[in-house]
Amino acid sequence: MLQDEMIEAVVALDEERCIRIAKELLVKGYSNQEIASLLNEGVKKIGAAFAEGDLFLGDLIVSGMLYRSVMDLCPPSNSGSRSVLPFGRVVIGVAEDDIHDIGKDIIVSQLRAEGFEVIDLGVDVKSGRFIHAVETYRPDVLLICGMMNFTEPHMKETIRILAEKGLRDSVAVMVGGGVVSSNTLPYTGADAATQDPIETLHFCIDTVTGKKAGPTAHKDTHNTAPKMEEVDQ
């Protein structure tokens, strides 16, 4: 079946095969949502293999790029009629003055594979855009990414404005990327900080699960020590 072939192609990181199968699925009338669901299954398998140490960060990067390449084939109007309630909602973006988006794209693909609705603000995101997104979308989690050291003050400023506007308690904030060090968490005032994409995923899952179970504190949920080097573009 084409569906199984797509999942197998994603796990094999075979972009050419994925694109060929996606085109066949579109001709057969599959919706964007149905194709994304198949991609998600493959990406979840890759993430699990990475967590077990069977794959490398480069494999996660390729899976994120593959996901984006296939979804770029899908026409915007081909969304299908099914409405699926997301597991949770996440706003993500790369902090102001930084354009390194590979790490962000890995997280986006992993989150979508787990059923999250993800609002991706892109790169070079100013504090005002993060604030507007939190006010507009009311996410469970805000993820602010950064590769370069000069992004930390922007992260801190965004979190400060969230508090100033009375929004800080409504959203869990994690900062991540190559910028993260042992000083990042106390400096920015975030709830968690990491370089590890799987730890980021678990933070989002734990946050939403905690909300569904009842009021919980977001603080000190995860280790703040960097786990790996963020890969530059």
Residue with tokens 């060929």: 20
In angstroms, rounded to a whole number, what is the distance separating the alpha carbons of residues 150 and 165?
Answer: 24
* Beta-carbon contacts of residue 28 (< 8 Å; ≥ 6 apart): 2
∠ Cα 154 123 61 (to 5°):
115
State yes or no: pLDDT of 120 exceeds 90: yes
162-175 mean pLDDT: 97
**Global pTM value:** 0.72
pLDDT digits (tens, 9 = 90+) for 187-201: 999 999 998 888 999
More confident residue, 159 or 216: 159
CB atoms within 10 A of CB 183: 11
Q: 33 and 79 in contact (C-beta within 8 Å)?
A: yes
Long-range Cβ contacts of 12-19 (<8 Å, 24+ apart): 13/46, 13/59, 13/62, 13/63, 13/66, 15/62, 15/65, 15/66, 15/69, 15/70, 18/66, 18/69, 18/70, 19/69, 19/70, 19/73
Percent of the chain with pLDDT over 90: 56
- At residue 95 the predicted structure's pLDDT band, cuts being 50, 70 and 90, is very high
Residue with tokens 């972009």: 15
More confident residue, 133 or 68: 133
In angstroms, rounded to a whole number, what is the distance separating the alpha carbons of residues 113 and 134?
Answer: 22
- At residue 91 the predicted structure's pLDDT band, cuts being 50, 70 and 90, is very high
Compute, in degrees rounded to 10, the torsion defined by CA atoms 211, 216, 217, 218: -30
Residue with tokens 């770029």: 72
